[in-house]
Structure 1
Amino acid sequence: MGRSARNKVKRHKRILEALQINAAVRVRELAEELGVSGETIRRDLAELGNEGAVSRTFGGAVAKPVLHEPNWRDRHNAFRAERHAIAEHAAKLVAPGDVLILETGSTVMHLAEALASGARDLSVITSSLEVALVLARNNAIQVHMCPGILDAREGSVVGTEAEDFLERYNATTAFVGSTGITSAGLQESHTGIAAVKCTMLSRAKKRVVLLDHSKFDQTSLVTACPLTDFDIMISDRPPEGDLAIALEQAGVHLIS
């Protein structure tokens, strides 16, 4: 396979990864991210459309309809470099003796991996089985696991039991993710996770959202909470337009 063909395969893989995270992608954004022309992206989308992998739209493409979004393991493998960088920034906000709350999700999992590799003297409350297991590798981290109803696809627990359990704790910092963010607030495709997320944010002095750029301006099933419900957003690039203005007006500090 020649270099041109290998590059095309990489682009197609990246486009499909983006559609695993979001229902739609835009030609302009893909061209900017992949460092190619819009015409190249349009050809890629045409080929993927002919293969039945995507549905073309004016200015972009949408994913083929599915009954549910990919589970956290599939999402964890997308945008790995971006999410690793976000996790590294987030880990710098953690100090020995902190009490942390960690939600579920692929970007939060990257943070858990960063903490497990070297953090000391931490107490962590989490709703995620996978996050708990990763943190448990480090004997210097005490893990408190929320009770509740298990969602096997997300590897986490939800429900009033989990929310009531979280209400008992006073955390230094809460780290949460989301399926999207708009000027209206954090978006979530799972109502149970949305409720747990809001409770987590309410129990911490410092409230931090971890989102890669693919989540910008993405609407989901429910608006979990307004932008004023968190203090810091860590991303791999700054948002633009109405979202950037809304974050500034809400007093959210951006780290990218």
Structure 2
Amino acid sequence: MAIRESEARRSEIARLARTSGLASVEDLSAQFGVTASTIRRDLSQLTAQGVIARTYGGAIALNPHPESSLRQRAMEGFDAKRGIAEWAAEQVRPGETVLLDAGTTVGAMGEFLRHVTNLTVIAAGLTALEALVDADGVRVECLGGTLRQLSQGFVGPLAEASLQRVSFDKAFLGADAVTADLGICEAELDQTRLKEMMIERAGEVYILAHSAKLGERPFHAWAPIPPGAVLVTDAAVDAKQVALFEDVGIRVQVV
């Protein structure tokens, strides 16, 4: 009986780690009515099995959704991303300064911005830079910083220092996932920290995400979305998801 109880408890701890991320030894001990030493043994066994990764004082699940490379994501929802990018580019006016985040959807905007006159683009990733490298009428500023090879975006202290010296009329942000309650989801905290700074420096904020990303929680790093921001997605979006975002003051544009 004791063995079965231990197995059931460890199974539930693993489930909690997957859904909630972090759980302290003290909280788990109180929840299951066992000693902290028992919980530590459970965590050690789950760690040895590769089910969770340990942090100081708690547990965190190993990510069941490894981050895809930019090349892998390029063809996912291609038509939807292109439609989103085209609509977003139509919001840009001559004479503006805009920020283009890293990622395939935002990067696709570059193709539609090439002929906008007197435009300044601050590029946070290689996709936008490549699309605009020979666009005669567009002034391109590179955010700089440490290049993340998976996302081909710039992050780190140098990128953050650059953002402190600029502002922009509009910011177009990508996301690994988006939820109405937590905001923009990314694989690492330095990505979400950078997005928070982008939001602070922008007059208008647009989040570009195809419908499959809405409501998903693949990682544990988040950047809140301010009320008044615009979420741009495609026609396959679930109406319930649209309502969740609109309820917290985020406008949803379906294209």
Q: Normalising to structure 2: TM-score of the pair? A: 0.69
Partner of 1:120: 117
Contact 2:180 2:248 in 1 (8 A): no
Partner of 2:26: none
CA separation in 1, counterparts of 2:155 and 2:231?
24
Q: Does 1:192 align with 2:190?
A: yes
- Comparing 100-109 with 130-139, greater Cα deviation is found at 130-139
Partner of 1:240: 239
CA separation in 1, counterparts of 2:123 and 2:195?
11
Give the letter for the 1:174 counterpart.
Answer: A
Partner of 2:141: 144
Partner of 1:93: 91
Q: How far does residue 155 in structure 1 lie from its aligned partner after superposition? A: 1.4
Partner of 1:164: 161
Partner of 1:70: 68
Matched ranges for 1:29-48 at <5 A: none
Give the letter for the 2:68 counterpart.
Answer: P
Q: How far does residue 170 in structure 1 lie from its aligned partner after superposition? A: 1.5
Contact 1:149 1:157 in 2 (8 A): yes
Structure 1, residues 68-119: CA drift from partner, whole Å, max 9, x if none?
4221122111211111110111011000001001110110111122212x22
Contact 1:228 1:250 in 2 (8 A): no
Structure 2 vs 1, CA of residues 139 and 229 (structure 1 numbering), >3 Å: closer, same or farther? Answer: farther
Partner of 2:23: none
Give the letter for the 1:168 counterpart.
Answer: R
- Unaligned 5+ segments in structure 1 are 1-64
Structure 2 vs 1, CA of residues 252 and 66 (structure 1 numbering), >3 Å: closer, same or farther? Answer: closer
Q: Does 1:130 align with 2:127?
A: yes
Structure 2 vs 1, CA of residues 248 and 66 (structure 1 numbering), >3 Å: closer, same or farther? Answer: closer
Contact 1:197 1:224 in 2 (8 A): no
Structure 1, residues 112-165: CA drift from partner, whole Å, max 9, x if none?
22212x222111112202311211220111111112111122212111210121
Q: How far does residue 66 in structure 1 lie from its aligned partner after superposition? A: 7.8
Larger Rg: 2
Q: How large is the Cα RMSD of the aligned pairs?
A: 1.9
Structure 1, residues 236-255: CA drift from partner, whole Å, max 9, x if none?
124432x3333112222211
Give the letter for the 1:136 counterpart.
Answer: V
Q: Does 1:173 align with 2:176?
A: no
Contact 1:201 1:230 in 2 (8 A): no
CA separation in 1, counterparts of 2:171 and 2:242?
22
Q: How far does residue 218 in structure 1 lie from its aligned partner after superposition? A: 0.6
Q: Does 1:107 align with 2:105?
A: yes
CA separation in 1, counterparts of 2:210 and 2:228?
16
- Comparing 67-76 with 198-207, greater Cα deviation is found at 67-76
Structure 1, residues 21-42: CA drift from partner, whole Å, max 9, x if none?
xxxxxxxxxxxxxxxxxxxxxx
- Aligned residue among 190, 209, 228 for 1:211: 209
Partner of 1:3: none
CA separation in 1, counterparts of 2:92 and 2:192?
24
CA separation in 1, counterparts of 2:129 and 2:227?
25
- Comparing 223-232 with 100-109, greater Cα deviation is found at 223-232
Structure 2 vs 1, CA of residues 207 and 88 (structure 1 numbering), >3 Å: closer, same or farther? Answer: same
CA separation in 2, counterparts of 1:165 and 1:229?
25
